[in-house]
Amino acid sequence: MGGTPRGAASVIVGHPLDTVKARLQAGTGYGSTLRCIRTVYRRESVFGFFKGMAFPLTSIAVYNSVVFGVFSNTQRFLSHHRCQEPEAGSPRVLSDLLLASMVAGVVSVGLGAPVDLIKIRLQMQTQPFREANLGLKPRVAALGEQPAYQGPVHCIITIVRTEGLAGLYRGASAMLLRDVPGYCLYFIPYLFLSDWITPEAHTGPSTCAVWLAGGMAGAISWGTATPMDVVKSRLQADGVYINKYKGVLDCISQSYQKEGLKVSPTAVMQGQCQSLEGRVRDFGRCETTEKRIRKTRCWLLNYEALVSSSPCPGLEEEVGVHPADGFREDW
């Protein structure tokens, strides 16, 4: 439960940058990051930066728990299936990590696509948009005019009523192309980097190792995921007033014809900020929780039976539990 306030805090701190990123990716007429910030503040005050925050705020704890849980349990299942009694501290197998990361990426889309869609729609409903294929100048929803959505619940009801349940997964294909390779380049570099940084005498990565490996893995992951994140944002924002894109390929084609290979620096910068803060926090919480569970399990099992039958060799050394230590409340 301790991770819930931290997760909520990370959403609150990072959401203004996410709003700027989304509007630069899917909106028109902003030009630069500073101009976008000034425009949002002038038209919508500081509250404009927090549009669409409710859904991510309420779902962040469940989302992180499920994604990390799916990855670790899939990896454990594959390791157990490959060798019936894997030894503690056995080397990681790249194929197991790759498949576990891909499964986690697919699950993340199933959970995160509706959340991202509602967030993007609420962030973008007051933004300039261009009439599809008509060559008209951009027009903006007039300030003070009734917005398309009154809130997240109204947004869900409107989408389901007009587009059906499948409408909640608009842009899911682009998100799948972003998250499956993105999580492979997120989990795998972290695990190998943390193992490489951690001295052999230590049983687990230190806080410094978690920060360094988590930050580097997040930066690698986001750097490769940014182009498809732009496509995802545009597909999800599409449909607030008009439908401009027919799918992923059409969105890529139209975007390339108009802008080339240009990628917004804010998109990369915002992603790196999320990586260095959010990813490090998630990995740190995951490492701490897993170690505490293993320590508690070691004490709940009969210690003499554990040592004599050796069902899990090296567990007492790995978690740092010894018979003379006694059970400490801080575990």
The total of other beta-carbon atoms located within 10 Å of residue 263's CB is 15
Residue 57 inside a domain? The answer is yes
Residue 259 inside a domain? The answer is no
Residue 124 inside a domain? The answer is yes
d(CA 212, CA 229): 24
pLDDT at residue 85 tops 70: no
- The mean per-residue pLDDT over the stretch 80-101 comes to 76
Residue 48 neighbours by CB under 8 Å, 6+ apart: 19, 40, 41, 126
Mean pLDDT is highest, among 11-25, 73-87, 119-133, 264-278, for 11-25
Residue 181 inside a domain? The answer is no
For 86, 228, 303, 316, 323, the CA distances from 311, given in Å and listed in that order, are: 10, 45, 11, 12, 17
Q: Are 263 and 227 in contact (CB under 8 A)?
A: yes
Mean pLDDT is highest, among 35-49, 175-189, 192-206, 228-242, for 175-189
Residue 152 inside a domain? The answer is yes
Higher pLDDT, 177 or 137: 177
Higher pLDDT, 215 or 318: 215
Model confidence band, residue 216 (pLDDT cutoffs 50, 70, 90):
confident
Token look-up 């306030």 returns 5
Q: Are 43 and 143 in contact (CB under 8 A)?
A: yes
Tell me the residue range of the domain where 57 lies: 52-83+91-132+146-169
Higher pLDDT, 275 or 201: 201
The number of residues making up the chain comes to: 331
Q: DSSP characters for 239-301?
A: TSS----SSHHHHHHHHHHHHTT---HHHHHHHHHHIIIIIHHHHHHHHHHHHHHHHHHHHHS
Q: Convert the pLDDT of each residue in 21-59 to its tens digit.
A: 888 888 777 778 888 899 889 988 898 888 888 888 888
The total of structural domains in the chain comes to 1
Residue 165 inside a domain? The answer is yes
Residue 320 inside a domain? The answer is no
Closest CA to 104 of 8, 3, 221, 209: 221
3-state secondary structure of 88: coil
pLDDT at residue 86 tops 60: no
What pLDDT does 205 receive? Answer: 74
What pLDDT does 156 receive? Answer: 93
